[in-house]
Structure formats: structure tokens, C-alpha cells
Amino acid sequence: MSRLGKIARRTFLIGSATVAGGVAFGTYLYKRPIPNPLLETLAEGEAAITPYVKIDARGITLITPRADKGQGAYSLQAMLIAEELDIDPASATLTPGAPGPAYYNWAVLEEGVPMPAYDQSGAAKAMREFMAVPAKLFQMQMTGGSSTVPDSYVKLRMAGAVARETLKEAAAQREGLSRDALKTENGAVLLPDGRQIAYTDLAADAALIEPVMDVALRPASEWTLLGKPDMKRLDMVAKCTGTEVYGIDYAVDGMLFASVCANPGIGGEVIGFDASEAETMRGVKKIVPVAHGVGVIADNTWRALRAVNAIKCTWGPAPYPADSAEIFAKLDAAVDDEDSFDHRQRNEGDVDAALTADEGAVFEAAYKIPYLAHAPMEPMNAIVLVTDDGCDVWTGTQIPLFVRNKAAALTGLENDQVRVHVQPMGGSFGHKLEMTHVEQAVELALAVKGTPVKLTWSREEDMTHDYPRPAAVARGRGIVKGGKVETFDLSVGQSAMAPNWFGRLSGLSLPGPDATITTGSWDQPFAIPNYRVTGYRAPDMVPVSSWRSVGASGNGFFHDCFLDELIHEAGADPLEERLRLCLDDPSRKVLEAVGEMSGWNGPSLGENRGRGVAFCLSFGVPTAHVIEVTNTAAGIKMDKVYSVVDTGEVLDPTNLEAQVFGGLLYGLSHAIYNELTYENYAAQQTNYHDYEGLRIYQVPKIEVKALTNGPRIRGVGEPGLPPAAPALANAIFAATGQRIREMPFIKHIDFV
């Protein structure tokens, strides 16, 4: 069988037990096919040929199980199915479907393997494929890690192709023809005599035959939807007319409205509260204690918010240091401390020997990044209805099966008695990989069984109860010789993120090192004679989570800025030296392309002007930005950005561009302005007035280019972010001579 056929069989979910491997734990369970969940709920006359396509006499429904938080996931998943199914995707109903193990994410754990993304050896590929095993076992129906496209690329086109061929087979049997004699177009089978039979008319027949599995995918040259420059997102009209229904907009008949206040020292106890004033306020129905806080159920969200503000709470301490100074002292103490050693996945040459041989020549620099809130525009919300024999949850989430299991545990129901209805999200950036708000909504709903309760967090609750991007510190030591970077040694100190998050969601511990401490620095495609990156694990402090681009959000800054400093020490050109050191062909072409686009001829652009280049390989996507700045009397002004990515293939050029400049701007915004600082266990930033984002007048002109030299297709929701901050820091150095080694940059220099 061809390689594509093998992948297709393994990733496709009906009746396919032919997997490669037979490795380690759970092979039997892994090999057992997962039933098609749509088959359990079909009505007479409906056909669910695959877990992704459901057809009845009224129409076609496409199941798009990766959640949409603004990145265009629903739209692209529908396009992938429609490309092979031969339907107009705008004519279909899209639904994320009922969460279930069939929709596990094949690709999401790939980043965790101990091989860098540019390693295309057989062992590295096998290891990545093996990560599908735990993904399936843990029922990782999860959206994240820029994995929707790589996970769906073959799987969903196969789903469309199997459905199409099965519908053709149904038509062939009805008409007494050979399937080969039939064609399909725009939701119908075309017969040789020119007649058409609509798919909807064939659904009942198709449900009675075995799905046709031996299908071949069309080559890109035959695509009619994917890859076209004029692709339009299917959610665009709704989002421009106020008709998109987000979780916060969803309504259930008879629902009440609620809000909560929880201990701002996350995980701290409630010593006591006085709700006597809140109880008397108009519209208040019930005051309900919840874990670590208290909630108000009312007849209107504003009344609930106002009543929550009237409750006087006494909070206990949180189980972490009380303020930022103590927290950073612990991070500083972890770096280069043997007892805090976590992992070292890059160790080439002999760094120790090089550093001790010429101590006087060692160049050192220290970097620091703060905790960051995700702060998507839509605050956390969930509607929950609990009855004696079931529980319904309506919420925007990236982790529907964790939500289901947790709701079941809290209500005492079985997992299959909980129905999670995933709603579109008004942004996430990783925020909705958490579910504390759902747990609170379940607690509230349990207090008024039979009545649905819609919980909305205030912006202040959302900012101060975010599980933030971890704070981290890094120390670099290096040596340059003969105009070249010769020794590069980076030590990063951070609390563990992945075990913290996974434990909170599942109750399970995640043993072993936490790769996120150095993701984005240990795995860069450079050949430096003495090259070492080490992760040190600080104690658990503020509970932390994934934030757009995860480990690479900080490590991209540490690695590239320190490299830029060494290149400057060497007296080399920033772009030329990165190119000289680069060992990966697609990555080199990305750097060359950004040089050509920007007309690179050195970092200086004249008096008070400069440009910086930065590079990071994250989520398998080599990405480079060149940023041009002017040092004006009013502060640093960003003039222009050139961005190049390599995603292997491009499915939606318009949305790709938006994701790249979106990631870039999210990265710049936080690098310049944002931090969560802690006092008395609580985050001090409570709303957008003290957690500012870039505004339109500050946004430079941006040019984006996508290359396709990479070995396979990749997702691009995150890779634009990691090189954004270092490109700006390097540009500021070029324009002013000032190195900025700490975020937010505004602590060190003004911006227009």
C-alpha cells in the first residue's frame, strides 16, 4: 500500500485496524477501531457514512470536531471534506458534533517528541507517529498546538471521498450501473444519461451498504476549493452581521444568569463571606458557594455581576509565593541549579570546556519574561443544565472530553449522560484549554436542578483567574571567534507547565521532564560548534497553562535575542550569520526570503532607524520576521514588518496571512505592554486599562509570504508569534543601541 494509503487507513476510523507499530502499552486497545458515533443516533432515512458526514433527505451535515476560536478551523475542516465530497460547503450545516473518542487528535502530541521538527530521519518520523497512540488512549479530542490542519488534512478528505464513493455505489446499485460510470458534482451523482440524483435522495440507500473504503485522494492539481486565492471563510458573513452565536450569546429556554467571585489567590480557600446585602438585591435568586468562591444566580447577568460585587469575602492564602519578587527569586534560583535540572535535549561539542578555556571572552546576558493572561475578547462562560438523569453543557471549549468527564464526576452521572455542546469562541489563545468556569457552572446548576444556568465571568474575574503563560528567566553564555558564533549555552528556568495543566484537567500526573521549558530554544535548526540548551524546573507556583505558541512564546525570545547578541559581538551581519549557521534547507530558504523581501543590507537604516531579524522554528513551521523601527521623540515607532513562513502546503492563503500577522501582533502586543504581577497572591491587572493591547494606530504595514519547501503540511495559528518579540528587540537595538532583555519592553523604552 502506498504511504498515503497507509496514513489514510490508520487515521480513518471505520473498520480500520491495520496500524503500523505494535509498540509498548495498549496496542490492543489502540488497534481496536472506535465506533462511528453518528451511527448511534441516526433516524430512519439518515446515513452517516463516516464520523464526519451525515446526510438525510433535508440536507448534508459536516462534522468539524476541532473547535473554532477564531482561527478558521470550522471553515477549513468543512472545505477539506467538501473538496472530495463535491458539495458547496456553504450549503451544508456545520456542527462540531457530539464530542467523542472517534474525534481524537492524531497530531496534537507530536510536538512532545524529543526530536526537533527539522529531523526527518526514520526514527523521528516513527516517534511522531507513535504519539497518536496516547492521543487516542487519552481521548485527546483537543484543539491546540497548531494541529488542526496536519491532523485533518488526510482524515477529512478521506471522509469526503468515502462518502462520495459510497453515495455513487448506492446510485449505481439503484440504476444497475457500474460505479465507475458515475460522476459527482455539487451534491449530486451524475448518471451517464445526464440525469442527476441528489445525495439527499440517496441517503437512505447509502445507509444500507458497506462504505466504499478503497478510495484515492485527488491530487492538489484537481482541487476546486482548497488552495485558491479567493477562498472565503464560511463564518465571515455571520461574524460581520452580529449573527454568529458565541457561547456567551447562546440561550436556553428558562435559563437563569449567574456570575462568581473566586479567591484571587488561585486555589486558596474561602474563609468566609457575607452575602446579606447581595441577597436582597433585585433579581437575585440564590447565593451558591462554589469551590474557592461564591456565586450568584439571578435573572439577568448584570444583576448577577452587581450582586457578586456586593459580597464581602475573606480569602485564605494561595499555595504559592505571595508576590512577584518572591516568584522571580525562585525562578532565578532554579537556573543552573543542579537540583532543579529538568532536561537537556541539545548538547553539542563541549560547552563547559569552551567556556572555561577562555573565561575572559565569555559573553553573558540574562533574560526575563512575565506571567501573561490570555485575555480573549469573550470572557469565560458556560450554560449548564443538570437533571436527575443527565447534564447538558453549552460552552466554547478546546477540550470537550475533559469537560464531559469533569461534569460527570461533579454530578455523579456517567460520562455518557453528559452532553457537551461546543460553541464558537470569541478568541481563546489557549484560555479555553481550561475549564474552571464550567466546574463552577455545574456547581451552580446543581443548586437549581432542572433549571439551566448561564455563568458569565466578569472581565475582572477572567483576568485574575486566568491560568497564565508561565513566567521564566534565562541565562546565556557564549563565545565568538574569528567573526563567528562558536559557543552558545542557554539555561532556562520555569515552573513546569504541561504536568500542571494536565493534572488539573485529568487528575493524572504526567511523569518525566516538561519539554515546554525549552520548546522553541533547544530545537532550533542551527549548527554551532558548542551548543547547549538546558531546562531547569522551578517549583510549581501560580498555576500555569498553554498560551499561544506555548513554550516557544518565551524561548523564541531567549534563543533568538541571545543569538543576535552573540552575532553582534562577533561583528557579523545578523542575517548572514544566521544563514551560515542554519542547517535546515526549508529554514534557510525562509531566512533568504525574508532578506529578499526586506531588501536586507544590514541592521542600520540611517539615523534613529534600524531593523531586526528573528527566526524561530515552532510547530514544524520555520518562521522569520524583519521589523523596521524608528526611534522618534515620542518613542519607538514600528514602521514595517516582513514575515515569511513555510507550512509545507498552503490550503487557504487568505486565512494563512491573517493567522501569521495575527500571531505576530499578539506577540508584539504582549512583548511591549503586558505582564501579570502578583501581590498578596492576586494578579494586579484586572482589565484592559492595565493590560493594554496594540491599537490600530500603532500597527505597522505587514507583508506575509508563505513558502512550501517543508516536508509536510503544518498549521500556522501559532508560529507567527515566537519570532515577533525578538525581531522587535533586535530592531530596537539597531535603532538605539539599547538591548532589551525583559518583557514587557515598555519598562525599558517608550513606544509611540
Q: Which residues bind another protein (CB under 8 A)?
A: 69-72, 232-233, 235-246, 248-249, 251, 257, 282, 300-303, 305, 375-379, 425-429, 456, 458-459, 654-655, 658-659, 661-666, 669, 687-689, 693-697, 699, 701-702
Give the contacts of 71 (CB within 8 A, at least 6 positions apart): 148, 659, 717
Classify strands 390-395 and 418-422 as parallel, antiparallel or unpaired.
Answer: parallel
Cα 525 from Cα 307, distance rounded (Å): 55
309 versus 387: smaller Cβ distance to another protein: 309
The separation between CA 218 and the C-alpha centre of its own chain, rounded to angstroms, equals: 29
Minimum distance, C-beta of residue 397 to another protein, in the bound complex (Å): 14
| The C-alpha cell that represents 746 in the structure block | 515598555
Cα 720 from Cα 717, distance rounded (Å): 7
In a 3-state reduction of DSSP, which class is residue 412? coil
305 versus 734: smaller Cβ distance to another protein: 305
DSSP states along 133-162 = HHHHHTT-----TT-HHHHHHHHHHHHHHH
385 versus 515: smaller Cβ distance to another protein: 385
- SS3 string of 335-381? CCCHHHEEEEEEEECCHHHHHHHCHHHCEEEEEEECEECCCCCCCCE
Minimum distance, C-beta of residue 451 to another protein, in the bound complex (Å): 16
Minimum distance, C-beta of residue 452 to another protein, in the bound complex (Å): 14
| Beta strand spans in 263-324 (E) | 270-274, 284-290, 293-298, 312-315
Give the contacts of 86 (CB within 8 A, at least 6 positions apart): 164, 184, 185, 186, 187
Burial (CB < 10 A; 0-12, 13-18, 19+), residue 3, is exposed
Minimum distance, C-beta of residue 204 to another protein, in the bound complex (Å): 32
Minimum distance, C-beta of residue 461 to another protein, in the bound complex (Å): 11
242 versus 360: smaller Cβ distance to another protein: 242
Minimum distance, C-beta of residue 698 to another protein, in the bound complex (Å): 8
Classify strands 183-185 and 188-190 as parallel, antiparallel or unpaired.
Answer: antiparallel
CB contact at 8 A, 105 and 140:
yes
355 versus 658: smaller Cβ distance to another protein: 658
C-alpha dist (Å) from residue 402 to 203, 440, 503? 33, 15, 11
Cα 620 from Cα 546, distance rounded (Å): 18
Burial (CB < 10 A; 0-12, 13-18, 19+), residue 123, is exposed
249 versus 585: smaller Cβ distance to another protein: 249
Cα 685 from Cα 463, distance rounded (Å): 7
Q: How many CB atoms lie within 10 A of CB 504?
A: 18
DSSP states along 73-133 = HHHHHHHHHHHHHTS-GGGSEEE--S--GGG--SSTTGGGSSS-TT--SHHHHHHHHHTHH
Minimum distance, C-beta of residue 282 to another protein, in the bound complex (Å): 7
Minimum distance, C-beta of residue 696 to another protein, in the bound complex (Å): 4
328 versus 429: smaller Cβ distance to another protein: 429
| The C-alpha cell that represents 169 in the structure block | 455505489
Cα 579 from Cα 592, distance rounded (Å): 8
The helix, strand and coil proportions of the chain, stated in percent and rounded to the nearest 5, come to 35, 25, 40
CB contact at 8 A, 538 and 495:
yes
Minimum distance, C-beta of residue 303 to another protein, in the bound complex (Å): 8
Cα 662 from Cα 720, distance rounded (Å): 8
Amino acid residing at 248: I
Minimum distance, C-beta of residue 233 to another protein, in the bound complex (Å): 6
134 versus 427: smaller Cβ distance to another protein: 427
Minimum distance, C-beta of residue 375 to another protein, in the bound complex (Å): 7
- Neighbouring C-alpha atoms within 13 Å toward the C-beta of 294: 20
Minimum distance, C-beta of residue 294 to another protein, in the bound complex (Å): 20
534 versus 669: smaller Cβ distance to another protein: 669
DSSP states along 192-210 = TTS-EEEHHHHHHHHTTS-
Minimum distance, C-beta of residue 378 to another protein, in the bound complex (Å): 5
Cα 215 from Cα 161, distance rounded (Å): 7
Amino acid residing at 25: F
Minimum distance, C-beta of residue 83 to another protein, in the bound complex (Å): 19
413 versus 704: smaller Cβ distance to another protein: 704
379 versus 723: smaller Cβ distance to another protein: 379
Minimum distance, C-beta of residue 252 to another protein, in the bound complex (Å): 12
Minimum distance, C-beta of residue 652 to another protein, in the bound complex (Å): 10
The dihedral built from the CA positions of residue 26, 32, 33 and 37, taken in this order, carries a sign that is negative
286 versus 580: smaller Cβ distance to another protein: 286
201 versus 249: smaller Cβ distance to another protein: 249
222-250 exposure pattern, b = at least 16 Cβ within 10 A, e = fewer: eeebbbeeebebbbeeeeeeeebebbbeb
12 versus 250: smaller Cβ distance to another protein: 250
Minimum distance, C-beta of residue 433 to another protein, in the bound complex (Å): 15
251 versus 508: smaller Cβ distance to another protein: 251
234 versus 567: smaller Cβ distance to another protein: 234
Closest to 645 in 3D by CA, of 659, 628, 631, 666: 659
Minimum distance, C-beta of residue 643 to another protein, in the bound complex (Å): 11
203 versus 255: smaller Cβ distance to another protein: 255
Residues 79, 85, 88, CA angle at the centre, nearest 5°? 55
248 versus 538: smaller Cβ distance to another protein: 248
Radius of gyration of the chain (CA): 27
